[in-house]
Structure 1
């Protein structure tokens, strides 16, 4: 299982792994599931700005 890894399109991260079956990549029976990043960009930017 994996979580937190990026889904990248070109040079842009567009998703974060919610869960995936590493040994069964591209299996129609065990799909990888991602969370879309764009709805969280403002929150991510605020967190990054406040890192000291």
Structure 2
């Protein structure tokens, strides 16, 4: 768990900084931001159920 956190947390922070401060506003960055918002809107229970179904 700690290994996943040590990889995912800096990657998420660096991605957020890149998208907000450095990346030019074009169709790709808009698509990435829409996908991030859609993923954030889904409850984690749904991802857990989908993962369970995938593993079974």
TM-score bin (small chain): 0.3 to 0.5
Structure number with the bigger relative contact order (C-alpha 8 A, sep ≥ 6) is 1
More strand by share: 1
Identify, as 1 or 2, the structure richer in helix. 2
Q: Please give the TM-score of this superposition, normalised by the length of structure 2.
A: 0.33
Give the structure with higher Rg (CA).
Answer: 2
